[in-house]
Amino acid sequence: MDASEVEIKESVPASRKLQDTDARAMLKAASRLHVAKGKKVSEFDVSKSVSKDAVAAMLGPTGNLRAPTLRIGKKIIVGFNDELFETLIG
């Protein structure tokens, strides 16, 4: 994050398991969700409502929030993809 001059305001340790209700709470304050799974990137408009598909995309097979998860303004980014990070973070 240093290369992009992004200031980290909150860091949650992996030992704290964030699940479905945490994901829904994050999405209520967001307008866009970007989810990267390898080279596949999915986008969800969550400005009006939070779909089950959006929440499911944020969670891994254990039901915990996937890492990394970033909140930048009203955007949430879940998972890692170089091109997506370069586009959204710079």
pLDDT digits (tens, 9 = 90+) for 13-34: 778 888 999 999 999 999 999 9
Is 13 contained in some domain? no
Is 65 contained in some domain? yes
pLDDT value of residue 46: 96
pLDDT value of residue 9: 81
Strand ranges in 1-90 using DSSP code E only, listed in sequence order:
32-37, 40-45, 69-72, 75-78
Is 62 contained in some domain? yes
Is 51 contained in some domain? yes
Domain count for the chain: 1
Residues in the chain with pLDDT values less than 70: 1-4, 90
pLDDT value of residue 89: 79
Domain that holds residue 38: 20-88
- Give the count of beta carbons closer than 10 Å to the beta carbon of residue 5: 8
Tokens encoding 47: 């400005």
List, in sequence order, every residue forming a beta bridge with 70; answer none if it has no partner: 77
Is 10 contained in some domain? no
Is 1 contained in some domain? no
Is 4 contained in some domain? no
